[in-house]
Amino acid sequence: MTKIEKIVLSYSGGLDTSIILKWLQETYGCEVVTFTADLGQGEELEPARAKAEMSGIKDIRIVDLREEFVSDFVFPMLRANALYEGQYLLGSSIARPLIAKHLVGIAQEVGADAIAHGATGKGNDQIRFELAINALDPSLKVIAPWRQWNIRSRTQLLEYAEKHHIPVPSDKRGEAPFSIDANLLHTSTEGKILENPAEVAPDHVYQRTVDPLDAPDAPEIITIGFEGGDPLSLNGTAMTPAALLTELNGLGGRHGIGRLDLVENRFIGMKSRGIYETPGGTILLAAHRGIESITLDRAAAHLKDEIMPRYAELIYNGFWFAPEREMLQALIDQSQAFVSGEVTVRLYKGSASVISRTSPWSLYSADLVTFEESAVAYDHHDAEGFIRLNGLRLKSWAARNGR
Ligand code: ARG
């Protein structure tokens, strides 16, 4: 094994990373610095500090990344209306490059030569962490214990914990827990009964949204203000990106918005089934499309929609810090200059419906589109010629086919 001098570990304080911490200390016998990011996962982070201290860690980093997460990662992605395979809002995918960026920053600051993470060998997250680290500092080594040690199952993991007196949370005993990843954008749940896509997900897998069937009978109407493609206010009150998303998560959760039961294609090659809850993100996507509908030129909007699946796939596959993602981002960002105004959305039993939109930069012309008499210069005869020329080749084609 290559000699490692100092490691920065991506550490949640949960069972897996606590075991990884112990294993790193035993295997490499070097100093470990722990990094715990607050991404709005809704977990207490101080217990992570206490656990790291108990393991003899001297340098413990706990950083609140909520604002950076939403303003520099979630919002740029929202500008693209990004969805992977038509449905997934990329809540886990978009958090990885941010965590990797901070791991690299700390490694450089403390002079560490390696970064360790707790992602397993079958998932997308290992790829996302490592591609980001490669792109940000090619000199750093990566340690992925799940690919290196000979622990092969949850059961063996629990045995290792027992042997090393690492406390096992009560819900992690006996029956294995779901694999959950949560942050301000989403909660993702995988594993156990969900591994059979023919099984209906039981209600207790849902963490932050009510069943739409149990949502309030009265709709709730909200107005979101956009500036240059980014949401900046709710019901007329300006809010920071993280505060706005937090607020929308609460509203969306109450109305059962943003649930998704999906079988997706992992980059590594297998299909997997997961339950996603993205309440605020689902509202924002609908609202962003609403403001774009009146402020974007048709060709600009359609070009965005053409590149969107490619852009989403890059994020899903871990290429956030790749030149092609940055090139697409530049294109998307340029399209957003006039995407400003207000969108009113009705939240009701699982749906977020745009019901009105206004913008000082609107391209919408009532005069042009009206069914009534209008003063705008529009010659109906132009439409006749337009259709005649477009129909020309169809007539040739139909005539040939009828022969
Ligand atoms: N399948 C999702 C993705 O690749 C979520 C992965 C993390 N979620 C989890 N429950 N472990 O983005």
Looking at residues 214-219, what average pLDDT do you find? 98
Looking at residues 330-358, what average pLDDT do you find? 98
The yes-or-no verdict on residue 172 having pLDDT over 70 is: no
Distance 52 CA to ligand 1 centre (A): 25
- For residue 260 and ligand 1, the question of a CB distance below 6 A is answered with no
pLDDT of residue 295: 98
pTM more than 0.75? yes
The yes-or-no verdict on residue 368 having pLDDT over 70 is: yes
The yes-or-no verdict on residue 1 having pLDDT over 70 is: no
Instruction: Give the chain's mean pLDDT.
Output: 96
Cβ(51)–Cβ(18) below 8 Å: yes
Cβ(316)–Cβ(90) below 8 Å: yes
- For residue 179 and ligand 1, the question of a CB distance below 6 A is answered with yes
Task: Return the CATH superfamily for domain 6-179.
Answer: HUPs (3.40.50.620)
Active-site positions read: 16, 96, 125, 179
Least confident of 117-131, 142-156, 215-229: 142-156
Of the pLDDT bands very low, low, confident and very high (cuts 50, 70, 90), residue 384 is very high
Amino acid (1-letter code) at residue 345? V
Give one DSSP letter per residue of 19-74, joined into a string.
HHHHHHHHHH-SEEEEEEEESS----SHHHHHHHHHTT-S-EEEEE-HHHHIIIII
pLDDT of residue 171: 59
pLDDT of residue 303: 98
Distance 305 CA to ligand 1 centre (A): 25
For residue 104, give the 3-state DSSP assignment.
Answer: helix
pLDDT of residue 403: 83
For residue 185, give the 3-state DSSP assignment.
Answer: coil
Of the pLDDT bands very low, low, confident and very high (cuts 50, 70, 90), residue 8 is very high
- For residue 295 and ligand 1, the question of a CB distance below 6 A is answered with no
Residues facing residue 200 across a β-bridge: none
Which has more confidence, 166 or 139?
Answer: 139
Distance 295 CA to ligand 1 centre (A): 34
Of the pLDDT bands very low, low, confident and very high (cuts 50, 70, 90), residue 124 is very high
- For residue 93 and ligand 1, the question of a CB distance below 6 A is answered with yes
Cβ(151)–Cβ(26) below 8 Å: no
Count of Cβ atoms closer than 10 Å to residue 121 Cβ: 11
For residue 370, give the 3-state DSSP assignment.
Answer: coil
Give CATH 3.40.50.620 domain extents, the chain.
Answer: 6-179
For ligand 1, atom 6, the nearest C-alpha belongs to 92
The yes-or-no verdict on residue 173 having pLDDT over 60 is: no
Of the pLDDT bands very low, low, confident and very high (cuts 50, 70, 90), residue 224 is very high
pLDDT of residue 372: 87
Distance 255 CA to ligand 1 centre (A): 24
Of the pLDDT bands very low, low, confident and very high (cuts 50, 70, 90), residue 347 is very high
Q: CA-CA distance, 256 to 259, in Å (whole number)?
A: 7
Percent of the chain exceeding pLDDT 90 equals 91
pLDDT 10s digits, 185-196: 999 999 999 999
pLDDT of residue 282: 99
Looking at residues 126-140, what average pLDDT do you find? 98
pLDDT of residue 373: 84
- For residue 18 and ligand 1, the question of a CB distance below 6 A is answered with no
Q: CA-CA distance, 200 to 197, in Å (whole number)?
A: 8
For residue 331, give Cα distances in angstroms to 233, 305, 321, 335: 25, 12, 16, 7
* CA max distance for the chain: 86
Count of Cβ atoms closer than 10 Å to residue 260 Cβ: 16
- Entry field: residues in the chain: 403
The yes-or-no verdict on residue 374 having pLDDT over 90 is: no
Residue 176 parent element (H or E): none
Give CATH 3.90.1260.10 domain extents, the chain.
Answer: 186-358
pLDDT of residue 312: 99
Q: CA-CA distance, 73 to 67, in Å (whole number)?
A: 10
Of the pLDDT bands very low, low, confident and very high (cuts 50, 70, 90), residue 176 is low
For ligand 1, atom 1, the nearest C-alpha belongs to 274
pLDDT of residue 175: 65
The yes-or-no verdict on residue 125 having pLDDT over 80 is: yes
For ligand 1, atom 8, the nearest C-alpha belongs to 181
Mutate to test the pocket of ligand 1, among 92, 96, 117, 320 (most ligand atoms within 8 A of CB): 92
Q: CA-CA distance, 9 to 16, in Å (whole number)?
A: 12
Question: What dotted CATH number matches 186-358?
Answer: 3.90.1260.10
pLDDT of residue 260: 98
The yes-or-no verdict on residue 204 having pLDDT over 70 is: yes
Looking at residues 28-38, what average pLDDT do you find? 98
Looking at residues 249-253, what average pLDDT do you find? 98
Mutate to test the pocket of ligand 1, among 74, 117, 125, 193 (most ligand atoms within 8 A of CB): 125
Looking at residues 326-339, what average pLDDT do you find? 98
Atom number of ligand 1 nearest to Cα 274: 1
Distance 92 CA to ligand 1 centre (A): 6
Of the pLDDT bands very low, low, confident and very high (cuts 50, 70, 90), residue 19 is very high
